[in-house]
Amino acid sequence: SETVERHEFGAEVGRLLDLVVHALYSDREIFLRELVANAADAMDRRRFEALTSAASALPPDAKVRIRPDKEARTLTVSDAGIGMAKEDLAQNLGTIARSGTRAFSQTLESAKAEDRPSLIGQFGVGFYSAFMVADRVTVTSRRAGADEAWTWASDGQGSYTLEPAERAEAGTDIVLHLKEDADEYLEPYRLDHLVRKWADFITVPIAIVQDGKDEAANQGTALWRKRKSEITPEQYEEFYRSVGMNFDKPWATLHWRAEGQLEFSALLFVPGMKPFQALENDRHSKVRLHVRRMFITDEAELLPPWLRFVQGVVDTEDLPLNVSREMLQSTPALARIRRAVTGRVLSELTSRAKDADDYTTFWENFGPVLKEGIYEDHERRAEIAPLLRFRSSAVEGWTGLADYVARMKDGQEAIYYLVADDAEALKASPQLEGFRARGLEVLLLSDHVDAFWPESLSRFEEKPLRSITQGGLDLSAFAAEGETAEAPEGIDALVAAIKAALGADVSDVRTTDRLVDSAVVLSAGSGPDLQMQRLLRRAGR
């Protein structure tokens, strides 16, 4: 008909479809997890929008319904969620917004087979997994608050169509026309088994429709509300996997209940691996906020950005169910919860830091993120500083500031550090020579954030932190190996000649006791540390 519009997929989508369908074939059952998670998400988003817009209110029996139809050979996943307008359908299902195909395919290739399924969730390409079991998918959707509906349809071969449709209520139906070898997904017991396996933690009700009747498929257990003694390690791990689409084991599991002035339950995890999506891309904490079990939002920023690697759930009694976006920002109850939760995570890190090997796992995954707290959060600075670990010119492995201070030489006033782009550059730096010769330890910093935080910390156990590239460091109190007391003959004339040759490019040329083998070294004078100057230059300042 004339109302059908045909669109080509973005080039990325075509390749991605191919990848998903082939790389994940042996795990293709995960399509159902992805579609149900999207449906539950859409319902959560609608409930949240309804707080400020009555037109979005959820009907009382709102559910995710999974309906197999053996005669038509279709499987339909329906929700009463937020729905998609025409342009949402084109945008969300026709392009890849968030992450490129290349990053995804590289990660997919290097991942172990058993890790692959969780990757598609992490990369936000879950919807396309429908094409693993279907040779045609239609999506009929009506946006909450709108009165028109649209159908998106595709066989996953390069293009899709959009046409006007009918739908009585807001929400979305995803109809999979199953491939010949995908019969198993028409069997209610098989669907039921799959949903139980991983959707039990979804608090939106999910039903499998059989002979026109709904059969509840998930329990909606709020695991975090149970007592620790009632929960097995396997249940914790399974919940961890479902909450962040993880497949590793958590490095730390924190489960506690606060009672008294503040009432909340929290179940938080520190992952055992770095996520594939770089933590630099999104600095917001995604810890989920529930109010009396009901999911409210994952945008409440329950933890500061420098703890954004922590995942999990906080469920409180102290907020009304109809908490609005403005309230999330201003309510004192939430500010108190944030403070309590942040303190709890820090105390867990502090106690785990006592076991150096164990803590190294954490530090190598998330240390650079934690360091951001030093310059972002002056209230917590003193608690974070003892948790920092460094490479050092004097010892192998990782070391902390307290250990450095314990090793300081008599008469040494400051904690010395050197920042450079990478560890190799650090080891070869002529800046270190004079310090090595005098047995003075220097901390070697090579993370991106290292250019910023040392100035904010400024002191640890009363000792100032000093970048060794800054001028004005006097090492004359420490005897260096093989040092001659006398200045070499003719040195003054040489300095004068160099000064004349460099002219206005430098502010001064001086002799130094900071070098042993190298002839010259650049010094930052009294301005910012050299690495900081490099960053500022790159930023065009």
Binding residues for ATP: 34, 38, 79, 84, 92, 99-100, 122-127, 172, 325
Q: Which is closer to ligand ADP, CB of 43 or CB of 530?
A: 43
Closest approach of Cβ 94 to ligand ADP, in Å? 10
Burial of 56 (0-12, 13-18, 19+ CB in 10 A): buried
Closest approach of Cβ 172 to ligand ADP, in Å? 4
Q: Which is closer to ligand ADP, CB of 93 or CB of 307?
A: 93
Q: Is 531 in the site for ligand ADP (CB under 6 A)?
A: no
Pair 278, 335: CB distance under 8 Å: no
Q: What is the C-alpha to C-alpha distance for residues 433 and 440, in angstroms, rounded to an integer?
A: 10
Of 127, 269, 295, 306, the one binding ligand ADP by CB under 6 A = 127
Q: What is the C-alpha to C-alpha distance for residues 112 and 119, in angstroms, rounded to an integer?
A: 11
Q: Which residues contact 341 (CB under 8 A, 6 or more apart)?
A: 266, 268, 287, 302, 303, 314
Q: What is the C-alpha to C-alpha distance for residues 151 and 419, in angstroms, rounded to an integer?
A: 56
Q: Which of residues 70-89 bind ligand ADP (CB under 6 A)?
A: 79, 81-84
Q: Is 19 in the site for ligand ADP (CB under 6 A)?
A: no
Q: Is 271 in the site for ligand ADP (CB under 6 A)?
A: no
Residue 452 CA, chain-centre distance (Å), reads 21
Q: Which is closer to ligand ADP, CB of 282 or CB of 355?
A: 282
What is residue 297's three-state secondary structure? strand
Torsion, CA 115, CA 119, CA 120, CA 123, rounded to 10: 180
Q: Is 236 in the site for ligand ADP (CB under 6 A)?
A: no
Pair 118, 247: CB distance under 8 Å: yes
521-528 LR contacts (CB < 8 Å, sep 24+): 521/430, 521/431, 522/469, 523/469, 523/470, 523/471, 524/467, 524/469, 524/470, 524/471, 525/470, 525/471, 526/470, 526/471, 526/472, 527/470, 528/455
Sequential DSSP letters for 457-470: H-EETTEEEEETTS
Closest approach of Cβ 506 to ligand ADP, in Å? 54
Residues annotated in a binding site: 34, 38, 79, 84, 92, 99-100, 122-127, 172, 325
Q: Is 34 in the site for ligand ADP (CB under 6 A)?
A: yes
Q: Which of residues 378-417 bind ligand ADP (CB under 6 A)?
A: none
Of 10, 14, 124, 272, the one binding ligand ADP by CB under 6 A = 124
The mark string for 172-211 relative to ligand ADP (x by CB under 6 A, - otherwise) is x---------------------------------------
Q: Which is closer to ligand ADP, CB of 140 or CB of 429?
A: 140
Of 19, 42, 300, 420, the one binding ligand ADP by CB under 6 A = 42
Q: Is 94 in the site for ligand ADP (CB under 6 A)?
A: no
Closest approach of Cβ 70 to ligand ADP, in Å? 23
Binding span for ligand ADP by CB under 6 A among 48-56, 118-126, 448-456, 509-517: 118-126
For residue 516 the two structure tokens come to 């042993």
Q: What is the C-alpha to C-alpha distance for residues 202 and 218, in angstroms, rounded to an integer?
A: 8
Q: Which residues bind ligand ADP (CB under 6 A)?
A: 34, 38-39, 42, 79, 81-84, 92, 124-127, 172
